[in-house]
Amino acid sequence: MHDKDMLARHAPEWQVHPDWLQPGQPAAQPGRQTFAMPHSQHSARPDSRPGSRADIRPELRACARPDVRSETRPDPRRQRQRMVEELARQGIADAAVLAAMAEVPRHLFVDEALTGRAYDSGTLPIGRGQTISSPFTVAKMTSLLQVEPGMRVLEIGTGSGYQAAVLTRLGCLVESVERLPELHEKATALLHSLGCTGVRTWLADGTLGLPALAPFARIIVTAGGPAVPHPLLEQLDENGIMLIPVGNSKNQRLTRVFRRAGSLYEQDCGPAVFVDLVGSHGW
């Protein structure tokens, strides 16, 4: 089965029209959810002298005073397509990941004042000293996770909810933990409004994980800690993969942890820049 066919089969039905999602009503999840100045018309008498503004041909007057109301906003669908094309040029080769990011409306996960920059290459602030990762970072981490439809994924650091939305678009079942109430509530409401029924959000200390729901096939941590939290290692399933930035804010390395035959193996996946992982087993 082609990646695109698999994605369509397992992903929630999202429709983009004309510039953001119009999803169906999200299913209920009882018991487990925690928690330009317009132009004014002047009546001044026109000056009919030769060379005056009234003597200028109408089409030239129109050019001299463009109507800002006729300007159109950028099409987010085209912006996403350009973003994905740039990600491919940067080396992201996972077709399923690129297809998912071409569908998820990233501009809805940032503040309204920043929507024009949502598809740029950098990170953006989302409040409380937190950020939404760059498109490249999201694509790289999602590719390194090597997810498959139906996999249970633990995400530490819900943030804006964008990473969780990408994972659910790939058919994953995501349990996402956030420690900051404001971000938790905002992301929860947005994910529900978009019909992301494959993700549940939790307000808790992410460094402790969710032991009652363990084990998880994949664990992704979107903040950098001094070391890999031991509780998260215990919640990683056999043949599972964990991805976490390790180190201080000035020197982090993206680390991939594998569990194979009861043993743990680490792989250095290069430098990283993330906010601090705060909690009992973080900073």
| Phi, psi angles (nearest 5°) of residue 25 | -70, 130
Bridge partners of residue 236, in order along the sequence: 216
The dihedral built from the CA positions of residue 120, 9, 243 and 194, taken in this order, carries a sign that is positive
Nearest C-alpha neighbor of 177 from the set 167, 187, 189 = 187
Catalytic residue, chosen from 40, 52, 133, 263, is 133
**Residue for token pair 């809805």:** 108
The Cα–Cα gap between 99 and 225 comes to: 31
Q: How many CA atoms lie within 13 A of 250 on its CB side?
A: 0
Residue 212: CB atoms within 10 Å: 6
Report DSSP state, residue 105.
-
280 has catalytic annotation: no
Report DSSP state, residue 8.
H
The Cα–Cα gap between 160 and 186 comes to: 8
The Cα–Cα gap between 160 and 191 comes to: 9
The Cα–Cα gap between 3 and 261 comes to: 29
Catalytic positions, please?
133
